[in-house]
Chains A and B, each alone.
Chain A
Amino acid sequence: MIVFENVTKQYSLKRGRTTILDDATFAFPRGKSMAILGINGAGKSTMIRMIAGTEPPDRGRIRRNGLRVSWPLGFSGGFHGSLSGRQNIRFASRIYDSDPRQVEAFVEDFSELGKHLDAPVRTYSSGMRARLAFGLSMAIDFDVYLVDEITAVGDARFKSKCQNAFADRHDVSDVLMVSHSADTVKKYCDSGCILHDGEMQFFETLEEAVDVYNALLKSLQ
Chain B
Amino acid sequence: MTDTRIEARQPGPFREAIATQVRVLSALILREARTRFGRSRLGYLWAIGEPVVYVMTFTAAFTLLRTLPALGNSIAEFLLTGILPYQVFSNIVQRASTAIPANRALLTFPIVKNMDTIMARIALEIATSLLAFLILFGLLGFFGITRMPDDLLGFLAGIGALMLLGTGIGVVAAVGTVVNSTFATVFPWIMRFTFFISGPFFILDQLSNELADKIAWNPVVHGIEWVRTAYFPVYASSHLDRGYILFIGLASLALGLALERMARKHLALE
Residues from chain A with a CB closer than 8 A to the CB of B13 are: 66
Query: Is B31's CB under 8 angstroms from A80's CB?
Result: yes
Determine if B16 and A66 form an interchain contact, defined as CB atoms under 8 angstroms apart. yes
Q: Identify which of B22-30, B153-161, B176-184, B220-228 touches chain A.
A: B22-30
**Can you list 22 residue pairs at the A/B interface with Cβ under 8 Å?**
A1-B3, A29-B2, A31-B3, A31-B4, A31-B5, A53-B110, A54-B268, A55-B268, A66-B11, A66-B16, A67-B7, A69-B110, A71-B108, A71-B109, A71-B110, A77-B108, A80-B106, A83-B34, A94-B23, A95-B20, A95-B109, A97-B20
Give chain A nearest CB distance to B116 CB in angstroms.
Answer: 9
Which B residues are within 8 Å of any A CB, using their own CB? 1-5, 7-11, 13, 16, 19-20, 23-24, 26-27, 30-31, 34-35, 39, 105-112, 264-265, 268-269
With A53-B110, A77-B107, A94-B30 already in contact, 19 other A-B pairs whose C-beta atoms are closer than 8 Å? A1-B1, A1-B7, A53-B111, A54-B108, A55-B265, A66-B11, A66-B13, A69-B110, A71-B110, A72-B108, A77-B105, A78-B106, A79-B105, A83-B31, A83-B35, A94-B23, A95-B109, A97-B23, A143-B8
Q: Which of B1, B2, B26, B110 has the most CB of A within 10 A?
A: B110
Residues of A with C-beta under 8 A to B11: 66
B265 touches A66 (CB 8 A): no
Residues A55 and B269 in contact, CB atoms below 8 Å apart: yes
Report if A164 contacts B (CB, 8 A). Answer: no
- The reply to whether the CB of A82 lies closer than 8 angstroms to some CB of chain B is yes
Residue of A nearest to B105 (CB): A77
> Chain A contacts of B106 at CB under 8 A?
78, 80
Q: Are B109 and A92 in contact (CB under 8 A)?
A: yes
A68 close to B (CB within 8 Å) = yes
A84 to chain B, nearest CB (A): 10
The interface residues of chain A, by DSSP majority, are classed as loop
Chain A contacts for B9, CB-based, 8 A: 66-68, 143
**Chain A residues packing against B (C-beta within 8 Å):** 1, 11, 27, 29-32, 49, 52-56, 58, 65-69, 71-72, 75, 77-80, 82-83, 87, 91-92, 94-97, 143, 172
State the CA gap A55–B106 with chains docked (Å): 14
Given known contacts A95-B23, A95-B24, is B7 in contact with A56 (CB within 8 Å)?
Answer: no
Determine whether the beta carbon of B7 is less than 8 Å from that of A66. yes
User: From B104, which residue of chain A is reached at the shortest CB distance?
Assistant: A77
Q: Which residue of B lies closest to A93 (CB)?
A: B27
